[in-house]
Chain A
């Protein structure tokens, strides 16, 4: 690398860090750093605009707004109540039943919304008041809700997994979304099992009550409504797994199904609510799409400088032991998860960390689960910790109290994270079995 290239690296990294600290929007920072670097290198900076356009000119990207819109429509259509009743039917009678119901309902809801914040808002609004009413402490109700909502980011069909597939495709030489989806299943259940275990232990220690039994006459209705509500996830996953349709097409089918279910069958989504729901989806998606476009331009600048190769050499010089590198990567991701949001983390760090992990022999699909899991945990930690703040606001508890209540669950999540990191089969067994 020439001294000129080295200066260009400093321009890229220096401007990026400086503008981020000055709280410029992340996507704007990516674009401006790329423009500055390419201009310094004597390359026409217009290529940044072109790369941004190419970055969002992908059919697979459409799956993201479709998935989010499906979750929004079902959310407005009373999904949370139906899912809570469905989960209560199966696990409500366990000791500390409402805690377990909360975790299971969050998994089901997250499965449809793919968003931990939506999960916390929807399930939290239903479950936290009920838990408080039944004698659970408000802090505990918040802790279990926000921790459980993280399942939504990793359990397929999660739009975060799509985002990772898009970010990793160029580096890993194409990445099957089917394999990435399948890879999230076992880690999702592992996370659910650890959350339930912690919930049961705490509930037993504090003598929280069992849930009330469901009247026999209500059971068929609860099952039917629960299954109808979970069908969009089956549509998306089923169409992708069978090769019947792409994730984008599956997403469009799920949107139409959700409209029929919420609008025509349940009549809980009124026609005049449709436009605001579309606006809300647009509001959620627009920042992700700018990030995707700007990340593409930033990746172009990095590649012009061979920066991923350089970083890989530096990191691998730290240690020859893969387990140490992976531990360092986990620590780095957990630390960055505090100040950074999920989408920028996935889009910025994938081109930097994936080549390192691939050099260590790690499957890109396995790395994707590790990255998304870490980024999800970051939603619980201050200073950004959006899920933490939303949960505390719903439960009307202080951020300190909410954080303390979340800590036992967070510790269990770290155990799950280490298992996912060092036992590749947890992520890869199912995709290797089904999608060879």
Chain B
């Protein structure tokens, strides 16, 4: 577990205010807005996919008609949703890991391990930026069959995920608690 952390401000609607000091300044506020937008896009894509698939079934069964773009756009939403989930999973420390040995290790060793993991996540983010950008450039030469969009719109999510992953890993290395989903369950109950 991290030894000392400041906390990223929870969404305004959250039930509790964070206790830790949060960095201030225009750049920080901008980053928070970007972060909120990414989260909103990812969750919004889930809603969009439900609507597209539902409408496709209804139009196909009732009117023998399917929007030509529906499957392609759904898959585009799905890949974006999945890759945004990778970055947000790092932000929330949600990705599953095996903690069998951690319990037997001294606190300081675990702290060092946390830093090593954060560094590895940062490196993975750099990998996604570099290799993802190469794939995006390559894919820009072809187009998607139904919508005619460049294929790079599918691959662009890889380097974007890489950038977000680097930012979250760097913040965690700096001791900032980036988690923001902790209050979701309480929020549902409170409503």
Contacts and interface: CB of A to CB of B under 8 A. Distances in A.
A341 B96 contact: yes
Contact of A383 (B100, B127, B157): B100
A46 interface: yes
A59 B61 CA distance: 19
A201 interface: no
Contact of A24 (B53, B75, B92, B97): B97
A44 to B, nearest CB: 8
Contacts of A28: 95, 120-121, 124
A307 to B, nearest CB: 21
B50 A255 contact: yes
A363 interface: no
Contacts of B79: 53, 56-57
A71 to B, nearest CB: 14
Given A25-B97, A344-B96, A282 B42 contact: yes
Contact of B98 (A273, A275, A339): A339
A249 B96 contact: no
Nearest to A342: B96
B152 interface: no
A59 B56 CA distance: 13
A76 B188 contact: yes
Interface residues of B, number: 57
A256 B54 contact: yes
Interface residues of A, number: 66
A59 B74 contact: yes
A287 B78 CA distance: 14
Contacts of B57: 245, 249, 252-253
A36 to B, nearest CB: 11
B188 A280 contact: yes
State the main secondary structure of chain A at its contact with B: helix
B2 interface: no
A49 interface: yes
A49 B131 contact: yes
Interface stretch (A60-68, A324-332, A364-372, A410-418): A60-68
Interface string A1-40: 0000000000000000001111111111001100100000
Contacts of B99: 23, 383-384
Given A276-B187, A279-B181, A25 B96 contact: yes
B74 A62 contact: yes
Nearest to A278: B43
B191 A290 contact: no
Contacts of B102: 23
Interface string B41-62: 0110011011001101100010
A285 B97 contact: no
B9 interface: no
A25 B95 contact: yes
A45 interface: yes
Given A273-B188, A279-B43, A57 B98 contact: no
30 contacts: A22-B113, A23-B102, A24-B97, A25-B95, A45-B127, A48-B131, A49-B131, A49-B135, A53-B158, A57-B79, A59-B74, A61-B78, A62-B53, A62-B74, A249-B56, A252-B53, A253-B54, A256-B50, A272-B191, A276-B187, A278-B46, A283-B94, A286-B85, A289-B81, A289-B85, A292-B82, A293-B86, A339-B100, A383-B99, A384-B99
Interface of B: 39, 42-43, 46-47, 49-50, 53-54, 56-57, 61, 71, 74-75, 78-79, 81-83, 85-86, 88-89, 92, 94-103, 113, 116-117, 120-121, 124, 127-128, 131-132, 134-135, 154-155, 157-158, 181, 184-185, 187-188, 191
